[in-house]
Amino acid sequence: MGDNLIELKKLKLSDYIKMKNFTATKEYNSKQGIYFLYNKHKELMYIGKAKNIGCRIMQHKDNYKTKIHYCYFKYTELICPADRDIYETYYINKLKPPLNKAKVYLYKSQYEELRYFSEYDLIKKQKLKKEIAWAYNCINL
């Protein structure tokens, strides 16, 4: 099954911003748009939208419900609520971040299996999957 997504105008994103020392200043609190959250390897993990980007990033930074630690983010300003919704949905399905669970139409979200694993656990799990695939291939030769 192909993605069959229409192409939307590409948005200009900010540079990577480190979350470690980020504080929601007046500059960020006045911005509306969509944001992209990344792990320490700058791999995209989540996409969201916000009326107040600074406040929303702080909520993700201080979220201890999951073991996923976001280290960087990017954002783009979108004033119109309809544009924010359209572009958020578009980029979720185009870029397929593993931790989005809403608005996922073209792929299977990994949210449930990833949210309680530390990065070390995820690396172990990936190695185990590779070993199982290798063993399976050996059996079926």
CA distances from 141 to 112, 130, 133, 135, 137 (A): 34, 17, 12, 10, 6
Average pLDDT, integer, range 2-29: 85
Tell me the C-alpha distance between 5 and 3, whole Å. Answer: 5
For residue 138, the model assigns a pLDDT of 63
Q: Which amino acid is at 71?
A: C
- Domain ranges (residues) in the chain: 17-139
> Is the pTM for the entire model greater than 0.85?
no
Q: In this predicted structure, what is the pLDDT of residue 110?
A: 72
3-state secondary structure of 65: coil
List, for residues 117-138, the tens digit of each pLDDT value. 555 566 666 666 666 666 666 6
13: CB partners within 8 A, 6+ apart: 36, 74, 75, 76
Considering only CA atoms, which of 73, 116, 65, 125 is closest in space to residue 97? 73
Predicted local distance difference test score (pLDDT) of residue 140: 57
pLDDT tens digit sequence for 62-100: 765 666 678 999 999 999 999 999 999 999 999 999 888
Give yes or no for residue 30 having a pLDDT over 70.
Answer: yes
- Give the pLDDT confidence score for residue 141 in this predicted structure: 52
pLDDT of 1 > 50? The answer is no
Structure token pair of residue 105: 């139409």
For residue 18, which of 46, 44, 45, 38 has the smallest C-alpha distance? 38
Residues 4-17 have pLDDT tens digits of 778 899 999 999 99
Provide mean pLDDT across the span 17-42: 89
Distance between CA atoms of 105 and 52, rounded to whole angstroms? Answer: 26
State the pLDDT at residue 131: 64
Q: What is the CATH number of domain 17-139?
A: 3.40.1440.10
